[in-house]
Amino acid sequence: MPRTPTAVSAPGKVLLAGGYLVLDREYTGLVYGLSARISVIAQEIKTSPGIQLTEIVVNSPQFLEAQWRYGYHLAPDDGGIKVTQFQVGSSINANPFVEITLSYALSYITTTEHYKPSNTFEPAQFTIIADNDYYSQSHSMTGTEKNPTRFAKFPTALKDAHKTGLGSSAALVTALTAALLTQYLPTSAFDPATDASKRILHNLAQAAHCAAQGKVGSGFDIAAAVYGSCRYRRFSPSVLQGLPEASTPKFAPALAACVNDNDGQWDVEIAKEGVAVPPGLALRMCDVDCGSQTVGMVKQVLAWRQADPTNSRRIWDELQARNVALGALLSKNQTGEIVEAINQIRELIRAMGSESGVPIEPESQTSLLDALMDVEGVHNGVVPGAGGFDALALLVDDDEATERRVEEFLVGWGREKGGAVRLLDVKGEMQGVRREELAQYEGWVV
């Protein structure tokens, strides 16, 4: 009997407060999950009787040239599962986030008691469906004009897609890891609704995402993808630094020991209590269709921190206090105090920017935020995360009239200043990873 297809989704993120600081365990970040999700639908590939396939296919049908086919084998000396991409068409088009997630999740599964003694995984297809707000490009909806489906078809390959900065890779790695664990383990061993499974998923997705990115960041984006909105204190980088490279000797047992946290090393702190958007308000995002190269910005800010330890500590400690104060007043619904609390945070973010020479809140974003605050119903906003030209996060009254006023304002702003500024549909959302009903993907998966 073929298994019924399953779907899981993970949300995108916005780091409302705590950019840069959250890289250090002394400080915390205020992270919100977003209603923009990445879903992965897992289905068996039907084979003819007598034919054995060892193939795993991953598709991202909203984009051009977005199918990746993999074979796999057990690497020697407990190296786990090595995946090898098959060529489709005339060129090979790699997706490191997909490939590394496969090799990490499958390697982990081989260490569980549920792995088939036959040393195989049933051939399966994993379809990635992303909410449209992850990308800035104009797109065509796939249904009829009167009845468009929720998911768009983009006229580009993924490498040409303009990202809005909502954390597509973290949501993808988390959802794909959860889909693989759901597909190849019984529900008694993995069920994303339980806390124990969420911990496994979090640790495994952090390990895969760091490997795919080629660096250990703070990991707040994976935390948001798994747990949704939370106050986040990072794990010590040493938790992952001892892992051998994938498919080298002893990778699989080392990964399992790390993910199962045999030595109690994971010191990450995720607090969901008290992280909220006050009733009647919404966290919205405003895309400026630019995006930032955050790697260089992070390097430069950290270099400033080393070069000027006294001054930078003074700014960071005060900024942490202001960030915590914002979290507290949001959770206590003190809506009237938002404007001043965020102004105070922005002031120090700009100070950190001018001291380090990094445009964390660039002047053009300052003028846009300040002008938006004059629109009725808009409280305040920040350039979240690493800052720069990523989409802005705004706290606004959650009603249609405010939405209309903001949209009208942005049209005028774009006309006057040039550039495509627009309100994204996405809103802050509390929930993390979850199982999904299949019906919503009709037309995308057969």
Ligand X SMILES: Nc1ncnc2c1ncn2[C@@H]1O[C@H](COP(=O)(O)OP(=O)(O)OP(=O)(O)O)[C@@H](O)[C@H]1O
Ligand Y SMILES: C[C@@](O)(CCOP(=O)(O)O)CC(=O)O
Interface residues with ligand Y (CB under 6 A) are 15, 19-20, 22-23, 165, 217-218, 220, 294, 298, 385-386, 390
Residue 330, SS3 per DSSP: helix
Footprint (CB under 6 A) of ligand X, residues 86-105? 95, 97
Q: Hey, which residues between 142 and 171 contact ligand X (CB under 6 A)? A: 158, 163, 165-170
CB of 321 to ligand Y, least distance (A): 18
Query: Which residues 6+ apart lie within 8 Å of 371 measured at CB?
Result: 409, 413
Which residue number, 180 or 393, has a Cβ lying nearer to ligand Y?
A: 393
Which of ligand Y, ligand X, none does 130 bind, CB closer than 5 to 8 A by kind? ligand X
Contact pattern from residue 41 through residue 60 relative to ligand X, giving x for each residue in contact according to CB under 6 A and a dash for the rest: -------------------x
- Residue 444: contacted member of ligand X, ligand Y, none (CB under 5 to 8 Å, by partner type): none
Q: Which is nearer to ligand Y, 23 or 173 (CB)?
A: 23
Given ligand X, ligand Y, none, residue 169, with its beta carbon under 5 to 8 Å by kind, binds ligand X
Buried b (16+ CB within 10 A) or exposed e, 346-384: bebbbbbbebbebbbbbeebbebbebbeebebbbbbbbb
Measured from the Cβ of residue 274, the count of other Cβ atoms closer than 10 Å reads 12
CA-nearest of 356, 411, 412, 419 to 389 is: 419
The encoded tokens of residue 316 equal: 């960071």
Which of ligand Y, ligand X, none is residue 217 near (CB under 5 to 8 Å by kind)? ligand Y
Minimum CB distance to ligand Y, residue 20 (Å)? 5
Find which of ligand Y, ligand X, none residue 218 binds, CB within 5 to 8 Å per kind: ligand Y
Burial of 310 (0-12, 13-18, 19+ CB in 10 A): exposed
**Cα(129)–Cα(442) distance, rounded to whole angstroms?**
11
The residue (of 165 and 353) whose beta carbon lies closer to ligand Y is 165
The helix/strand/coil state of 271 is: strand
- Our CB check for ligand X shows the closer of 73 and 159 to be 159
Q: In the complex, what is the shortest distance from the CB of residue 65 to ligand Y, in angstroms, rounded to a whole number?
A: 26
Minimum distance from residue 121 beta carbon to ligand Y (Å): 32
Q: Which of residues 121-140 bind ligand X (CB under 6 A)?
A: 128, 130
Tell me the one-letter amino acid at 98. Answer: V
Which does residue 20 touch among ligand Y, ligand X, none (CB within 5 to 8 A, set by kind)? ligand Y
Pick what 59 binds: ligand Y, ligand X, none; C-beta below 5 to 8 Å, kind-dependent.
none
Query: d(Cα 299, Cα 79) in Å, to the nearest integer?
Result: 33
Residue type, 346: R
In the complex, the smallest distance separating the C-beta of residue 74 from ligand X, rounded to whole angstroms, is 26
Q: What DSSP letter does each residue of 89-105 carry, written as one string?
A: TTB----HHHHHHHHHH
Residue with smaller CB distance to ligand Y, 79 or 384:
384
9 binds, among ligand X, ligand Y, none (CB under 5 to 8 A by kind): none
User: What SS3 class is residue 291?
Assistant: coil
Token representation of residue 391: 């989409």
Q: What is the chain's Cα-based Rg?
A: 22
Alpha helices (H) along 185-332: 195-213, 220-227, 238-241, 251-259, 294-307, 309-331
In terms of CB distance, is 311 or 440 closer to ligand X? 440
| Contact set for ligand X, span 190-249 (CB under 6 A) | 221
Contacts of 321 by beta carbon, 8 Å cutoff, 6+ apart? none
| CB 295, min distance to ligand X, A | 10
Q: Which of 8, 57, 105, 172 binds ligand X (CB under 6 A)?
A: 172
Residue 277 interacts with ligand X (CB under 6 A): yes or no:
no
C-alpha 268/C-alpha 231 separation (Å) is: 11
Residue from 387, 283, 371, 364 nearest 326 by CA: 283
Q: Which is nearer to ligand X, 95 or 103 (CB)?
A: 95
Q: Which residues bind ligand X (CB under 6 A)?
A: 60, 95, 97, 128, 130, 158, 163, 165-170, 172, 221
